[in-house]
Amino acid sequence: MNNITNTGEETRLRPTSDLEDMLKGAVQTMVGDVFDINTLESNLTELFMILRKKVTEEIFHQIDVEHMECKECGNKMKNKGKKHRKIKGLVDYDIHVRVFYCDKCERYERPLDKIIGNTGRITLEVKEAMVLLGQRIPFEEASSYMEKLLKVGISHESIQELLEGIGEKISKEEEELIADEIDANGYVKDWKDGKPINDIAYMELDGSMVQTREDDWKEVRVGVIFAEKDRLEVDKNHNELYRKKYFSVFNDDKNSLAEFKNRATLEAYNFGFHNYVKHVIVGDGAPWIWDYASTYHPGAIQVLDYYHASEYLCNAINAVQLKDEGQSKQLKDWLWEGKIEEIIKSLEKVPKCKEIEDCLRYYRKNSSRMKYGEYRKEGVDIGSGVIESAHRVVVQVRMKQSGMHWNKKNVQPIVSLRALYLSGRWSNIVTHLKDAA
Ligand SMILES: [Zn+2]
């Protein structure tokens, strides 16, 4: 491969036949070498790298003219020197943009600007890759993936800076939207009823903790809205949603809960949540969820997530080590059927301990949201876990890896970006990337 590299590096490619010769030379070299398909592919990668650079250089060279006539008056324009531009892309562009000036018309021309346009320091192609990786994996890893997969060297600091900048714009935009659409009492300003939809819509609300540098663990609230008909069964234990809307608000100050509620209200309205003949709010025991649900979605069916309920019961059963297996099975069956009063009566008879007390308190408080038998009969999902919980996909997989600490100011930008990505709004992200430096 060395001869190709040398040919490429030392002389500028002129006519297209040079490119053809270069390709023929490359093929001859590779045929001549003894290698397997893996060597072939690594040689190809190297060849693509060289081609990428040569072809772009050639294009720039052809567009770059030494003399220019004014488009307005036809006079020869003055050469005012060159402006240096460095752009990071699939190729490291190191460009000297010639600047021409017409005295008569007082106008400038920069021929190479035709290609560069208003591209900032990094091309869109590379920025998209940075965001795609950085929203999912640690910045250091994203940087090494860029190098490995795209052969583009970009620092983890640059990736972080881009992600935080874009995320901040997105979260600002979200805040502005809420200010425009939601009134001071948390209701949609310009509410219009839609046509009834004969299906079930769900809003799942949840929270997750993130470790911050300043205040140790802080909560991020997460929600997701989807409809039953958008569910795609991958296998018995795993469903995918092909339409869903995630949203997330960092619980940073005393206004954060109101912000999250406003956000949930707006997302629900935009989704048409209330138009669904059955609309369901699923959550754990957090009082703010049910307070919010009762106030802003009085027509919604409230469902306490089955797995949270089940966890309390299992802890209680394990704590007292019920000898009678029949009894613990009975308790679990009652839960599945939503016979919460039976469970409470039964647990009141066993010796008291912390786990029993916790379970009793939780069940007494939430029994109206635990009619699991009834829900299942109506086809309402009881939070069975076939859909991965929102807080896990939005927050945990990215923000909660071992040893990860986040500056508080960076939490909201990253979760906003991630929620948008997971909601399938890539084009929205790209729009922001086009404007970014
Ligand atoms: Zn002119």
Q: pLDDT value at position 5?
A: 39
d(CA 420, CA 173): 12
**Residue 365 pLDDT more than 90?**
yes
SS3 of 87, please? strand
| Dihedral sign (CA 128, 130, 133, 136) | negative
d(CA 384, CA 279): 17
151: left (phi over 0), alpha (psi -120 to 50) or beta: left
Centre of ligand 1 from the C-alpha of residue 77, in Å: 7
For residue 209, give the amino acid letter: M
Mean pLDDT for the stretch of residues 215-243: 87
**Residue 98 pLDDT more than 50?**
yes
- Please list, residue by residue across 55-89, b when 16 or more beta carbons sit within 10 angstroms of its beta carbon and e when fewer do: ebbbebeeeeeeebebeeeeeebeeeeeeebebbb
Question: What's the angle, vertex CA 186, arms to CA 185 and CA 188, rounded to 5?
Answer: 115
d(CA 317, CA 328): 7
Q: How confident is the model at residue 384 (pLDDT cuts 50, 70, 90)?
A: low
Cα-based distances in Å from 367 to 57, 67, 339, 345, 372: 70, 82, 9, 13, 10
Cα-based distances in Å from 339 to 148, 332, 334, 351: 56, 10, 5, 21
More confident position, 437 or 297:
297
Centre of ligand 1 from the C-alpha of residue 62, in Å: 23
Centre of ligand 1 from the C-alpha of residue 103, in Å: 7
Tens of pLDDT, residue by residue over 311-363, are 999 999 888 876 677 888 999 999 999 999 999 999 998 888 999 999 999 99
Centre of ligand 1 from the C-alpha of residue 97, in Å: 20
Mean pLDDT for the stretch of residues 215-224: 92
Centre of ligand 1 from the C-alpha of residue 351, in Å: 97
Centre of ligand 1 from the C-alpha of residue 66, in Å: 17
Q: pLDDT value at position 27?
A: 84
Q: pLDDT value at position 15?
A: 54
Centre of ligand 1 from the C-alpha of residue 115, in Å: 22
Which of 172, 133, 225 has its CA nearest to residue 412?
Answer: 172
Residue found under tokens 């540098």? 213
For residue 149, give the amino acid letter: L
Centre of ligand 1 from the C-alpha of residue 425, in Å: 46
Centre of ligand 1 from the C-alpha of residue 108, in Å: 9
CB 131 within 8 A of CB 413: no
Please give the biggest Cα pair distance in the chain: 101
CB 131 within 8 A of CB 417: yes
d(CA 163, CA 156): 10
Centre of ligand 1 from the C-alpha of residue 86, in Å: 29
d(CA 242, CA 88): 35
CB 343 within 8 A of CB 350: no
**Lowest pLDDT segment from 9-23, 149-163, 173-187, 397-411:** 9-23
Centre of ligand 1 from the C-alpha of residue 116, in Å: 23
What DSSP state is assigned to residue 188? B
Q: pLDDT value at position 10?
A: 43
Centre of ligand 1 from the C-alpha of residue 112, in Å: 19
How far is residue 132 CA from its own chain's centroid? 8
- Which listed CATH number (1.10.3470, 2.20.25, 2.30.30, 1.20.120) goes with 65-121? 2.20.25
Q: pLDDT value at position 437?
A: 60
Tens of pLDDT, residue by residue over 268-309, are 999 999 999 999 999 988 999 999 999 999 999 999 999 899
CB 340 within 8 A of CB 364: no
Centre of ligand 1 from the C-alpha of residue 65, in Å: 17
CB 136 within 8 A of CB 163: no
> Which residues make Cβ contacts (< 8 Å) with residue 58, sequence separation at least 6?
12, 13, 19
**Lowest pLDDT segment from 210-214, 312-316, 355-359, 399-403:** 399-403
Listed by start position, the domains of the chain span 2-62, 65-121, 308-369
Centre of ligand 1 from the C-alpha of residue 120, in Å: 29
Centre of ligand 1 from the C-alpha of residue 81, in Å: 18
With a pLDDT cut of 90, the percent of the chain lying above it is: 61
Centre of ligand 1 from the C-alpha of residue 63, in Å: 20
Q: pLDDT value at position 241?
A: 82
Centre of ligand 1 from the C-alpha of residue 100, in Å: 11
CB 8 within 8 A of CB 48: no
| Dihedral sign (CA 315, 380, 301, 338) | negative
Centre of ligand 1 from the C-alpha of residue 64, in Å: 19
* Residues around the ion ligand 1 (C-beta < 5 A): 70, 72-73, 102, 104-105
Q: pLDDT value at position 34?
A: 67
SS3 of 423, please? coil
Mean pLDDT for the stretch of residues 382-394: 76
Q: pLDDT value at position 4?
A: 40
ipTM of the shown complex: 0.93
Q: pLDDT value at position 274?
A: 96
SS3 of 231, please? strand
Centre of ligand 1 from the C-alpha of residue 101, in Å: 8
Most confident residue range from 7-11, 102-106, 393-397: 102-106
Centre of ligand 1 from the C-alpha of residue 304, in Å: 74
